[in-house]
Amino acid sequence: MGKETKRQEVDANFVTGVRINCELDLKLNKRPQYEMATIPSSHDIFNQSLIDISVLVKLPIVVQKLPGSLVECFPSGSPWLNQRVAFHHRDCLTRENTTEVEFDEKFGVCPPQWDKSIGTVIAMRLDKKPLYPEHIAALAGFSQVHLSPYFQKYRESWYFEDDGHLPKSYVVQEMTRFKFGQYYHDWREVQMNKESLD
């Protein structure tokens, strides 16, 4: 068996994804917001459910908090905020045993377990293809920058208007592979312009 074949077999046993660092890792440990991470292909992250937004944009992503994260030791401190991860976890899909009224209340909202003190996490593609920092960064921006105005207008139509309530499809139609692709293209241009100025 040649060296190249052995290397391919070793590579097949590992998956490349992204570590999304919390504020403490950024400030205290001087880590970047996003960095590459490699884990075994047998890691239990691949048993988790896809995050909602990734289902809709057809980019199969699973996320898991890192074991031993400092958030477990200091659960109430703001240094463990990870807003980028929170925006990945907006509720966009119905769940079993959830009524329509309950879903209306949660639609577009980040669940408590993925809000505030999250700590550092890893993100991987469920199909075990490589995932890169720019994909995760763009997806967070897509949720925060592009989708937030749609979620806000949807909620305002229910709370402040007597009729003409907007349907969820008003927001969901923005969460497609095509729309994300458009956002990603524009996002990349902005990043390239920033890099050219550095």
Q: What is the pLDDT of residues 130-187, one digit of tens each?
A: 999 999 999 999 999 999 999 999 888 877 766 678 888 899 999 999 999 999 999 9
pLDDT surpasses 80 at 196: no
pLDDT surpasses 90 at 54: yes
pLDDT at residue number 109: 82
What letter does residue 81 receive in the DSSP assignment?
A: B
pTM of the model: 0.81
Helix residue spans in 89-176 (DSSP H): 100-106, 133-141, 148-159, 169-172
Beta-bridged to residue 57, according to DSSP, are: none
Each domain of the chain, given as residue ranges in start order, spans 3-197
**Of residues 125 and 23, more confidently modeled:** 125
CA distance 136 to 28: 22
Angle at 166 between CA 103 and CA 183, to 5 degrees: 85
